[in-house]
Amino acid sequence: IEVGPVRSARPYFIDIASEYGAAYMHVGGSPEATKQLRKRDDVVDVDQWYHSQFYWRDRRRASPHHIYTSTTRWLAAVEEREVASSTFGMWYFNEEAPSGWRPALEISIPGVNNGSATWRWRDGGYVRWFGDDAYRTRAGDTIAVNTIIVQQVTQRVLDAEGRLALDLRSEGFAWVFRDGVMTRGFWKYNKKEHRTRWYDDQGAEIALKSSRLWVHIVPTGVEPDVPLPVE
């Protein structure tokens, strides 16, 4: 599977990767991110600047959107860098359709890429749209997922370049979408388990649908727009 473009490291990406003990593939990074990667031992740094054999440049695309990797290459990176098998805790999955959730056949998430990310329920999954057209990969495939999570986090500006710090180690509001319905609850980072999980208003962990899952991280104050279906 081709993946890209691969971009530079940020501290919040390192925080996410650390939950999995992952090999983190990136191209350089912000000063804070590169400083963290030098001293942290909960992720394996696979920087393209020093491990270019695991990447390639697509000459059809302009820099900096031209660096790609693939399943084959990151598996080779994992083997060469001797990445240990991860032992992270599983999320809660259940294939039963939720009861008591409200309909959610279209989801718009403002503020993504200076516009909005839109998902529409089609054929048992959520398909990503760009304007009036389904968003497609370079191979022409649509992007469809079974579960969408919108997770609110606090953020602050780190420097004059506008780089951000995101607080992924606390808790906040969250919205979970699956099976054409949604619920609102909250997310919480468990320090002892070193894992983020999502809960309903009663504190029970929300059941996710297995297979493809997409998590949108949004700043406090940004909420998904979910119009009620027209009857």
Three-class SS string for 91-152?
A: CCECCCCCCCCEECCEEEEEEECCEEEEEEEECCEEEEEECCEECECCCCCECEECEEEEEE
108-115 long-range Cβ contacts below 8 angstroms, 24+ apart:
108/224, 108/225, 108/226, 109/150, 109/216, 109/218, 109/222, 109/224, 109/225, 110/222, 110/225, 111/218, 111/219, 111/222, 112/216, 112/218
Task: Give residue-wise pLDDT tens across range 34-92.
Answer: 999 999 888 999 999 999 999 999 999 999 999 999 999 999 999 998 887 777 889 99
Reported pTM: 0.91
Specify the pLDDT at position 162: 81
Specify the pLDDT at position 185: 97
Distance between CA 140 and CA 171 in Å, rounded? 37
- Please report, in tens digits, the pLDDT of each residue of the chain (231 residues total): 899 999 999 999 999 999 998 899 999 999 999 999 999 888 999 999 999 999 999 999 999 999 999 999 999 999 998 887 777 889 999 999 999 999 999 999 887 556 678 999 998 899 999 877 888 888 888 999 999 999 999 998 888 888 888 999 999 999 999 999 999 999 999 998 999 999 999 999 999 999 899 999 999 999 999 987 666
Specify the pLDDT at position 41: 87
Specify the pLDDT at position 112: 56
Q: 61 by DSSP, 3-state: which?
A: coil
Distance between CA 146 and CA 209 in Å, rounded? 6
Specify the pLDDT at position 231: 62
